[in-house]
Chain A
C-alpha cells in the first residue's frame, strides 16, 4: 500500500466499547481523534481493505446480541450491516454457534472483495462480496479433525477460544495459514479445502507431549510479504521464526534477555525489511499477570531475524501495569516505519522512529483490542 506523501497514516482502533480513528499528519507528530463509532459495541477488529483503500470492515458484537460485521465503503462516512454475517451452518452437527467475529483478514490482491473472518468458537468464514454476505469455509469448519484440533468443547478460558492470524500467501491465493488460540498453527494449500498442523519445533509446556503435532497456543502469526517463505510467531510459549518450506519453528525468543523472557501477545513486521520485527513482552511467570515484566513497559525489536533484540522504552512510563493484546500493535509503511500499540488501559502509543522513542497519542479510551494502520485513498 503506497503511502500518500501529503497525508499521514490513520490508525483504526477497536476497543471494548466502540471504535475510534486517529488521523496523523505527514510528520506523524500531530494526531486528530475521530469517534467513537458504534459506542458500546465490542469492536474486535477494524480493518481497511488494502485493495480499494476505501472499504472498512468492523467485527462487532455487544454483550447481549449476536455477532456481526458492519461495513463502510466510504471510509466510515456511512455504515451498513452485513446482510448475511459470519455464522456456522444451520443444523451444524456440533451445534456450534458463533459468539464473536474475532479477526478480519483481507483476501489476496487478485481476489477483490474476498475477506476471511476468524471466530470464537474457532470457525473460519469467507466473503467474496466485500463483507456483505459470508459463508462458512467448510474445509475448515467441517474438517474431520476440527473438533480435535480446535478447543472444543470450549474449555472456558477467560476470553474464550479464538481463530486468528488468517494469512494469505501473496504469491498464491490458495495458500493459507491460520492460528488457533489454543490449537496451533495450520496450513492449507488448496484454498481452505484441507488443512494440516504446522507446529513442529514450537513448545507447548501445558501439554503432556512436548512434541505434540497440535494443541499449541500461537498468539499472533505474521508472514513477511516481501519474503513469503518466512513466518514469525509470538506464542504463549515463546517467539519463533520459520523458514519454508522446511516448516520447523526456531525459538528466536531464546535470544531475548533472560529477565524479560519471550512471552507476549503481538508480533509485528517491518514493511520493507523481513529481518526486523517488534514484540511487546509480558510477564508469563507465576499466575501470568500478562503485564510488562517488572511493570516496566517496553517493546523489543530485532534487526537480524531474531538473533538479537534491543529494548525500546524511551518515552514510555517507568511503571505501568497494562497489557498489549495480539491485535493491538501495528506498523505503518512510512520511512522510517511508525510503530504503534494500544493498551488494556486505553492508551495509544506511537513511535515515528521505528521504536526508538514513544509518545502517547490518545488516552482514556476503553480497553484497546486492536490497532491497524491504514492509508486511505
Chain B
C-alpha cells in the first residue's frame, strides 16, 4: 500500500514522499514502516501505542486516531502533522 510521508519524517525515508508498506491495520503498516525505516514509528506513535498528539493519520480521505483501523490493499495511508505555533 502507498503511504504518504510528511516532510518532517522524510529524513527516515531518504527524502521520499511516498513509500510502500504492508499491513492490514494502521498499526501494522506503521510497524512495517519502522522495519523499513528504523526510528520512524516512535516519532509518530508513543510507547503506549498511541498516536502522538500533533500527528494525524488519514486512510484515504478519512482521518483516524484508531490504530486498529483496518486497511485494504488499495487504501492509501497519509501521515500528517498538525502544524501550529511558531
The answer to whether B43 touches A83, judged by C-beta atoms less than 8 angstroms apart, is no
- Nearest CB on B from A377, distance (A): 28
**Which chain B residue shows the least CB distance to A86?**
B47
The answer to whether B52 touches A66, judged by C-beta atoms less than 8 angstroms apart, is yes
The answer to whether A92 touches B48, judged by C-beta atoms less than 8 angstroms apart, is yes
Q: Among B13-21, B60-68, B78-86, which stretch is in contact with chain A? A: B78-86
Interface string of A62-81 (1 = CB under 8 A from B): 11111010000000000001
The answer to whether B48 touches A97, judged by C-beta atoms less than 8 angstroms apart, is yes
CB contact under 8 A between A81 and B39, given known A65-B81, A66-B44, A66-B46: yes
Interface string of A86-110 (1 = CB under 8 A from B): 0111111001111000000000000
| Interface residue? B8 (CB, 8 A) | yes
A89 contacts which chain B residues (CB < 8 A)?
A: 47
The answer to whether A63 touches B46, judged by C-beta atoms less than 8 angstroms apart, is no
| Interface residue? A85 (CB, 8 A) | yes
Interface string of B26-57 (1 = CB under 8 A from A): 00000000000011001111111110101100
The answer to whether A92 touches B52, judged by C-beta atoms less than 8 angstroms apart, is no
The answer to whether A68 touches B39, judged by C-beta atoms less than 8 angstroms apart, is yes
**Which chain A residue shows the least CB distance to B41?**
A66
A68 contacts which chain B residues (CB < 8 A)?
A: 39, 42-43
Residue in B38, B43, B81 with the greatest tally of chain A CB atoms within 10 Å: B43
CA gap between A97 and B55 in the complex, in Å: 15
| Tier of interface size on chain B | 20 to 34
The answer to whether A90 touches B49, judged by C-beta atoms less than 8 angstroms apart, is yes
B43 contacts which chain A residues (CB < 8 A)?
A: 65-66, 68
- Nearest CB on A from B83, distance (A): 7
On chain A, the number of residues with a Cβ less than 8 Å from chain B's Cβ atoms is 19
The answer to whether A63 touches B48, judged by C-beta atoms less than 8 angstroms apart, is no
**Which chain B residue shows the least CB distance to A62?**
B8
- Nearest CB on B from A136, distance (A): 9
A64 contacts which chain B residues (CB < 8 A)?
A: 8, 52, 54-55, 81-83
A65 contacts which chain B residues (CB < 8 A)?
A: 8-9, 43-44, 52, 55, 81
- Nearest CB on A from B44, distance (A): 7
The answer to whether B54 touches A63, judged by C-beta atoms less than 8 angstroms apart, is yes
**Which chain B residue shows the least CB distance to A82?**
B39
A63 contacts which chain B residues (CB < 8 A)?
A: 54, 81, 83-85
A62 contacts which chain B residues (CB < 8 A)?
A: 8
CA gap between A65 and B44 in the complex, in Å: 6
CA gap between A95 and B48 in the complex, in Å: 6
CA gap between A90 and B49 in the complex, in Å: 8
The contact of B47 among A81, A83, A88, by CB within 8 Å, is A88
The answer to whether A98 touches B81, judged by C-beta atoms less than 8 angstroms apart, is no
CA gap between A66 and B46 in the complex, in Å: 7
CA gap between A64 and B80 in the complex, in Å: 9
CA gap between A116 and B39 in the complex, in Å: 20
CA gap between A96 and B84 in the complex, in Å: 24
CB contact under 8 A between A97 and B50, given known A64-B55, A64-B81, A65-B9: yes
Residue in A81, A90, A98 with the greatest tally of chain B CB atoms within 10 Å: A81
The contact of A97 among B39, B44, B46, B85, by CB within 8 Å, is B46
Using a CB–CB distance below 8 Å, which chain A residues touch chain B? 62-66, 68, 81, 83, 85, 87-92, 95-98
Using a CB–CB distance below 8 Å, which chain B residues touch chain A? 8-9, 38-39, 42-50, 52, 54-55, 81-85
Other than A63-B85, A65-B52, A85-B42, give 19 A-B pairs with Cβ distance below 8 A. Answer: A62-B8, A63-B54, A64-B54, A64-B81, A64-B83, A65-B43, A65-B55, A65-B81, A66-B42, A66-B43, A66-B46, A68-B39, A87-B47, A88-B48, A90-B47, A96-B47, A96-B48, A97-B50, A98-B47
Sample (8) of A-B pairs whose CB atoms are under 8 Å apart: A65-B8, A65-B52, A66-B44, A68-B42, A87-B42, A92-B48, A98-B46, A98-B47
